[in-house]
Amino acid sequence: KVFIPRQSVLTKLLEVSHFQTIYNIFVALLIVIILNTVCLDLLEKGRIDIEFEILTGSFNKLSTTISIWLAMLSTTLLVYPVFHHWAKHTNSFSFDIVWLLLYVAYLIAFLVIPAMYVTKHKLALASSMIVVTEQTRLMMKVHSFVRENARSILNYLKHVETTSQPFPGFSSYLYFLFCPSLIYRNEYPRTANICWSYVVTNFLQVIGCTMYIYYLYVRFCLPVFRTAGRELANVKTYLKTIFSCVLPATLMFLLAFFAILHSWLNAFAEMLRFADRMFYEDWWNCKSFGNYYRTWNVVVHDWLYAYIYKDVLMYGDRRNRSTLAMLMVFFVSALFHEYIISVCLGFFYPILFVIFGGFGVLFIPLTQRKSTRGWNIFIWLMLFFGCGLLLCLYCLEWYARSLCPPNPVRH
């Protein structure tokens, strides 16, 4: 991974008036949805009832959430002195094996303990999402820091008979923990100054997208899910519910992409003067699923390629290394996506794992080396139905468990 100064794709596109108009259309559509909701409430109920308690209730126990995050960050910071101690004293294979086992134990504990606290304190959806996504982000950053520096230290010791090898400063590690990259480097290209108005604009866009998603859910999805449990479950009911969710779910997906991979990451990049802002590519133009997976989230893809794909290529079976590496990347990615959703929702329902790790893999050879416009339409169709199916099935399960909570204890 070579970092170079460059802007995000949408940053450049939004400088063009035609694309700025598309942005304006989305803003106008949000205003229309808000007005529609307000008018319906006034006409049907005689008052405005937007049900903000659903949104505010998702951010319950913020003090507990912040405490868990601070604890995770503290253990992440402790990795630096511990790893520095290993780097100064590594001198034998058995010594390295012991430290490797301790490192693996740390990663397992870092994965398990926060999830236990989320369950113990019964954090709501948004609070759980904050903890689990930050847990995953910090764990990926720790692994990148350890992998990149352990490799350079061991290579250094092979050629130099000394233990005073160069070690990155703590400031480099601390900067890496907050910069929008999952690949560690001692230095990154930096911008000359900070444009605080750009930072504020991006954070406002995150808030706006969050409200947009909330209004879409309350206006178009919530009424469907609240009445779904009163009807007899059959194929007809499921199809009606899925098709009702297709358009709002896809809009939610696009808004979440814009909020997180564009606005949120660009805000932190600007604050930290991080110059390489290629967080995604023009995935909306893709004509193959392989290219879509590589371009829609470059930040995570770079990490998976560097520490999963390349490792399997190096140590896997020579005859099927590339296929095995690809399957391992999909398995790890699908597993962690499902882990995040399961912890946040409070139940295991592996729909995303099946769609992402199953159908997502099967579509790669089907769409490989395709270049006509029809295949781009096919990918968008699959995204539409995939988003609708995921939102429908997860929400139906959520409301089913809310109405009829499982009770394994029998008296």
Helix, strand, coil distribution of the chain in percent, nearest 5 = 75, 0, 25
- Inter-residue contact 317 to 404 (CB < 8 Å): no
DSSP character string of 112-125: HHHHHHHHHTT--H
DSSP character string of 126-146: HHHHHHHHHHHHHHHHHHHHH
Between CA 300 and CA 310 the distance in angstroms is 14
Rg (CA), the chain: 23
Report helix angle 62-89 to 125-159, nearest 10: 10
Q: Of all helices (H) and strands (E), which one includes residue 78?
A: helix 62-89
- Inter-residue contact 5 to 276 (CB < 8 Å): yes
- Catalytic member of 18, 84, 89, 337: 337
Tell which residue, 297, 198, 200, has the closest CA to residue 253.
297
Between CA 13 and CA 25 the distance in angstroms is 15
Instruction: Respond yes or no: is residue 143 known to be catalytic.
Output: no
- In terms of Cβ atoms closer than 10 Å to its own Cβ (0-12, 13-18, 19+), residue 239 is exposed
Tell which residue, 382, 50, 340, has the closest CA to residue 216.
50
- Inter-residue contact 266 to 147 (CB < 8 Å): no
- Inter-residue contact 3 to 189 (CB < 8 Å): yes
Between CA 31 and CA 202 the distance in angstroms is 19
Mapped onto helix, strand or coil, the DSSP state of residue 51 is: coil
Q: Where are the beta strands (DSSP E) in 222-344?
A: none
Between the two ends of the chain, the Cα-to-Cα distance in Å is 59
Contacts of 144 (CB under 8 A, 6+ apart): 176, 182, 183, 184, 303, 306, 307
Total Cβ atoms within 10 A of residue 170: 12
Identity of the residue numbered 185: R
Hey, which residues are catalytic here? 337
